């Protein structure tokens, strides 16, 4: 459970800060997707980092239980699979980028998602 709390704190802080950056206009997912599409090297590095993060979390937090900690396991698998997709099919980002047109909605979602994990990381 200690590892779950540490990971929840990390996820909470990252998502809240990124969500706020989106809402105040300092972070734009469309621009990030365009930059990734223009740079095969950057796309590969992003995918490789996602694979590494996913594998580390899967190795140390592959916990399938009926409480909030299973969400960390699901996120771990999502990072791993998402990284594989990006490395193997880098042009798939073109299809995904159309969902980022409403960045403010994503910003609000990210803050809510981050608050959920921050609650379990810092409060409980």
| pLDDT band at residue 103 using 50, 70 and 90 as cut-offs | confident
pLDDT value at 84 more than 80: yes
CA of 40: how far to CAs of 82, 97, 100, 119, in Å? 16, 16, 20, 37
Q: Single out the residue of 107, 87, 75 nearest to residue 4, CA to CA.
A: 75
| Cβ count near 1 (within 10 Å) | 9
Q: What was the pLDDT predicted at 1?
A: 75
Q: What was the pLDDT predicted at 46?
A: 94
In the chain, the largest separation of any two C-alpha atoms, in whole Å, equals 43
Residues 6+ apart with CB under 8 A from 70: 63, 64
Q: Single out the residue of 82, 12, 97 nearest to residue 46, CA to CA.
A: 82
Q: What was the pLDDT predicted at 33?
A: 81
Q: What was the pLDDT predicted at 28?
A: 84
């Amino acid at each position: 459970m200690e590892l779950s709390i540490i990971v929840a704190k990390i996820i909470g802080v990252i998502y809240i800060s990124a969500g706020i950056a989106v809402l105040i206009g300092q972070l734009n997912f469309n621009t990030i997707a365009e930059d990734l599409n223009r740079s095969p090297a950057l796309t590969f590095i992003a995918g490789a980092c996602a694979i590494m993060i996913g594998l580390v979390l899967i190795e140390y937090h592959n916990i399938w239980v009926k409480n909030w900690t299973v969400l960390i396991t699901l996120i771990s698998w999502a990072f791993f699979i998402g990284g594989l997709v990006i490395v193997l099919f880098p042009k798939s980002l073109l299809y995904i980028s159309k969902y980022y047109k409403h960045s403010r909605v994503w910003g609000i979602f990210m803050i809510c998602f981050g608050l959920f994990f921050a609650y379990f990381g810092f409060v409980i």
